[in-house]
Amino acid sequence: MDLELFLKKVPLFSSIPDSQIRKIAACFHVLDVKKDVHIFEQGDLSDAMYIIRSGAVFIYSEKQGRTPFQVELQRGDFFGEMALLSNLPRSATAKVTLDATLFCLKKENFKTLLTQNRHIGLFLSRLYARRLSFGSTTESTPLMPIFYTVSATDPDLGLSHFLYSMSYHISTESDKKVLVVEPHLELKSIMKKFDLHSMPCPDISLFNLLPSNVYASDDIKWFNHPSGFCVLQVNKGFHEQLVSVLPQLMESFKFKYDRVIFSLTHHFDHLEQQAVRLCDKNLLIINNTPAALPGVKKKLDRLEQTAGIGLDRVRVGVSHLCGATGIPRETLKRELNLSETPQVWVEKSDKAIKDQIDTEKRFPVKGARAIARELAGVRIGLALGAGAARGWSHIGVLKVFEEEGIHIDMIAGTSMGALVGAIYASKGSVEHLMEYTIKRLPTRSLARKNIFDYTLPLKGFLRGRKAMNLVSTAVNNADFMDLLIPTYIVGVDILKGEEVLFDTGDVSRAVRSSLSLPAVFVPFRHNGRWMVDGGLLNPVPVNILEQKGADKIIAVCVENPNSTAKQTRRSPSIMQVIFRTINIVHSTATTGFAQKSDVVVYPEAQDFAWDDFHKGNVLMQRGENACKKVLKEIKALIKTPYK
């Protein structure tokens, strides 16, 4: 039972249902290890992974001619899993620096765990991508995926539209060199449609590893797009010969290109199977109509069996080009046993129907551009912190982003950050956000009328219904699936003392859960839990964005550690005491979040009271000013702003 409760709090297992956690816990065994004992040494064969229950473990590598890697891990951290995934010897030494209790999972159990729980592969994949975005690669960190396949369950799902739109956006939003390999499609007939132009072979050495009798120069044609990506087209009749030499060809490609994408047909012949087996990740576009579901399951099962065990090897996206009535995406997740709710990769747009490249930089980000930003490693996550009325300064930050054309891919919010983030995510518009927040609260009396609903202070001064109704109206009673920007909201189960993440269900109820300042708002009953302010445990939810795959993270914190509120000799009121106590809790809980952020925005809001909701315009201006101070850093981080 102790292990079950502990595993639920470890991010690696946090999204796994309780029933499976119980089975997983049964696979671990406990190790008590004294200080200075080596758990394993560099070069040892890998036979297990470990989770730290208590104590500390020092991980370090020593290789001649290379920078040594050193890090100390503590409670809740895990290690040793990458050697199991790669089947390579240990690349570092693990030494206990403080008497430790470890939970150990043997190699065979780890592989079973990875096979049966796709959430874990997805989490690890995102974790390593985030590490690489910081530039903190280690001997145990895998390389960023290079090779991808793109296929579809049916021939009319917009595969070419998706593939070339995605390649365009990878090329224009990053410095990645992209190659598309077309082993089936005769491109000369549609070259003009995709704006592709014939070009000579960019580097004849790409084929040096192939036997000279395997191919003729006429079998391979090259094209390029003005955006920068290249296409290698293989003549019909030759592609079957690629099966045996594909590993050698890919070996050459990886030194020339950052992303190599194989376009596969909906048939699963020998070349498809070889490409799926060899590639790092496989993207599958599916038809989501009820009639197509059995065929989708069959294709997905075969794809996963061929891809084998690994980090999130198969990803699924939905096309809306076939059928009038589709299966809800949450149902698809359940029916297909997917690691996450599938995105819509191909919408029924004019460009998709005509099978053309969609080059527009739309915001909110979605479709082929959304997956392109993931493959390019440029997704921006925005963490909006707690702070009651001071949270209106978040609006100023979003206003600067909108003016500068800075597109964000996901939002995580706590307390007031949850309210601002959710309303903004519903439309992706600052004007809409202002219309339903600060413009409706121009005076203290109107703010109290529209937000405050007093009750007998047995559990809190305010019921919180008005705040929830404000959000519900602003987001039009949205479910999380309706939000245009993926959004994650943090609350705290007050009885269990656990952080709770909301990313499904009713948005307004999730925001109300996160808003519940103890002693101010009555605790809110949601999904069988009594919820209070998420800021008690996670005031600036940067870690949530890490878990969800953000490559670059911008955080907004209204609790500026370098600022102090004005001092007064007056005796503080009960509400001031409560809010100041919560501020202290928030300030303590924010320790360490800045180190996980790429840029932190600190609006000067310390002089504002918790209930200054009527001072929205001034607070918004504070957010704008703070954001503009670090705008150069933000632009350097994202490199390519879009207007």
Active site residues: 415, 533
Query: Which helix or strand (DSSP H or E) is residue 68 part of?
Result: none
**567 DSSP 8-state letter:** P
Where do runs of H (alpha helix) occur along 26-158? 81-86, 107-116, 118-133
Distance CA 390, CA 557 (A): 10
CB 375 within 8 A of CB 369: no
Left (φ > 0), alpha (ψ -120 to 50) or beta: where does 92 sit? beta
According to DSSP, the residues that pair with 530 across neighbouring strands are 525
Place of tokens 């309303």: 423
Any residues with CB less than 8 A from the CB of 143 and at least 6 apart, and which?
Answer: none
Query: Which helix or strand (DSSP H or E) is residue 420 part of?
Result: helix 416-427
Structure tokens at 235: 């003549």
Structure tokens at 219: 């079998």
According to DSSP, the residues that pair with 573 across neighbouring strands are none
Q: What are phi and psi of 77, to 5 degrees?
A: -75, 155
Any residues with CB less than 8 A from the CB of 445 and at least 6 apart, and which?
Answer: none
CA distances from 568 to 291, 572, 576, 605, 612 (A): 70, 9, 12, 17, 18
Distance CA 217, CA 175 (A): 29
Q: What DSSP letter does each residue of 494-515 carry, written as one string?
A: TTTTEEEEE-SSBHHHHHHHHH
Distance CA 302, CA 591 (A): 46
β-strands 552-556, 380-384: how paired?
A: parallel
Where do runs of H (alpha helix) occur along 31-146? 81-86, 107-116, 118-133
Left (φ > 0), alpha (ψ -120 to 50) or beta: where does 205 sit? alpha
* Positive or negative: CA dihedral 512, 517, 521, 527: positive
Any residues with CB less than 8 A from the CB of 187 and at least 6 apart, and which?
Answer: 194, 196, 221, 223, 231, 233
According to DSSP, the residues that pair with 319 across neighbouring strands are 287, 346
Q: Whose CA is closest to 374, among 643, 541, 164, 166?
A: 166
Distance CA 9, CA 78 (A): 12
Q: How far is CA 400 from the centre of its chain?
A: 23
Left (φ > 0), alpha (ψ -120 to 50) or beta: where does 387 sit? left
Distance CA 53, CA 76 (A): 6
CB 603 within 8 A of CB 391: no
Q: How far is CA 497 from the centre of its chain?
A: 25
Distance CA 331, CA 161 (A): 26
Any residues with CB less than 8 A from the CB of 336 and at least 6 apart, and which?
Answer: 296, 297, 300, 316
